[in-house]
Amino acid sequence: MQQVDLSVEIAGVRFPNPVMPASGAYEVDEIHDNFFSPSQLGAVINKTIFLHPRPGNPPPRIWETPCGMLNAIGIPCDGADSFIKEKLPILRKLGPPVVVSIAGETMEEWIELSEKIEETGMVDLLELNLSCPNLSEGIPWSTEEKTLERVVSAVVSRVKLPVIAKLSPVVTDIADMARAAERAGAAALSMINTYKGMAIDIRKKRPALGNITGGLSGPAIRPLAVWAVYSAYEVVKIPIIGMGGVEGPVAALEFLLAGASAVAVGMYNFIDPFTMKRTIEGIQEYLVSEGYDSVRQIIGLAHGKG
């Protein structure tokens, strides 16, 4: 295959290609190494960690829906110390840039955890999961502009690591939230987290999920996610990592053309463990057949300004 440059830059960090896992949807371990090596990815990321251990939600935690699934996992984690000791060194050794996804239950926790992660010296980017199900102060962190700005600017003022704000799409206008994150000093955006929804188990005549509501992901939400990225690209200068139903190269290219500098694969890793590899290869084939030298030439092309 003809060589094209697949590398992109997110907040000053070079990704060898624009495809990475979405947080919480891909484990780096022996099983996955059998399929393809995660060292081939554009970046690697952990399942969101909190400062302290959390058990996660009671089952049922997932529920299949047309072209997607609801999840209410509740972010189980062993806490920051365990992550730093056990998992982070494994991610660091792989080669691609390491993004660490964190969430806080309080403002103090956001700050303490950010500093703790930076101190390891093993991290390239910090992703703030601002759309976690555990609410603080009565509202989710990224569904209200002022709260979002407050968290992002607090973290940005304490750490030197570039900060990615991962946004919830359940807002009046996501472009406003993208702007707020940029104003607060975010170096990049991850767009979008899942859409809140629910399903009813008609046999049990009860909500299908133990948590009642869950986050909808998968190809079902892709047009919504592409629109979110497109609209944010119009108003911010910081790079965007696009996600929401990426199942292969066609979906990934939609996001890139809409303005994402990279894409993340979530649910489809469950269905086809080769999805990310296929996506990287398919983007490369597309670039060759369309006569581009670099993936960077197609970012945002759908806006017709290039």
Partner 1 sequence: MAAPVYRKAILVSRKESPRGYVHLVIREEQIARTASPGQFVMVRGWHTGDPILPRPFDIVLADPLKGVFRICIKVEGKGTRLLSALKKGSTLYVTGPLGKSITEFDTAGTALLVRGAGSAAVVFLAETLTKLKKPVYTVLSASTKSRLVCRALLEEFSNDLFIATDDGTEGYHGNGTDILDRLIQEGKVDTVYTCGSHRFARHLKALDLAGKVKGFLFLEGNMGCGMGDCHGCAVKKEGKEGYFLVCMDGPVFRSRDVVVE
Q: Which residues bind partner 1 (CB under 8 A)?
A: 24-27, 29-32, 34-35, 47, 53, 55-64, 66-69, 71, 73, 76, 218-220, 267, 269-274
Closest separation in Å from C-beta 162 to partner 1: 26
Q: How far apart are CA 99 and CA 40, in angstroms?
A: 15
Q: Could you please report the per-residue DSSP string of 271-293? A: H-TTHHHHHHHHHHHHHHHHT-S
Residue 188 or 208: the one with the smaller Cβ distance to partner 1 is: 208
Q: Give me the least distance between CB of 265 and partner 1, in Å please.
A: 11
**Strands of 98-102's sheet in order across:** 19-21, 262-265, 240-243, 188-191, 163-166, 125-129, 98-102, 44-45
Closer to partner 1 at the Cβ: 35 or 292?
35
Across the chain, which distance is largest between two alpha carbons, in Å?
A: 56
What secondary structure letter does DSSP report for 202? T
Shorter beta-carbon distance to partner 1: residue 76 or 207: 76
Shortest distance in whole angstroms from residue 268 CB to partner 1: 9
Active site residue 77: no
Which residue lies nearer to partner 1 by CB, 220 or 243? Answer: 220
In the complex, minimum distance from the CB of residue 68 to partner 1, in angstroms, rounded to a whole number = 7
Using CA atoms of 126, 127, 128, 132 in order, give the dihedral in degrees to the nearest 10: -140
Smaller CB distance to partner 1: residue 30 or 172?
A: 30
Q: Strands 8-10 and 188-191, how do they pair?
A: unpaired
CA atoms within 13 A on the CB side of 142: 35
DSSP 50-101: -SS-B--PPSP-EEEETTEEEE-----B--HHHIIIIIHHHHHHHSSPEEEE
The C-alpha angle with vertex 179 and arms to 178 and 182, in degrees rounded to 5, equals: 90
Smallest distance from the beta carbon of 280 to partner 1, in angstroms?
A: 17
Catalytic residue among 80, 123, 132, 209: 132
Residue positions annotated with a catalytic role: 132
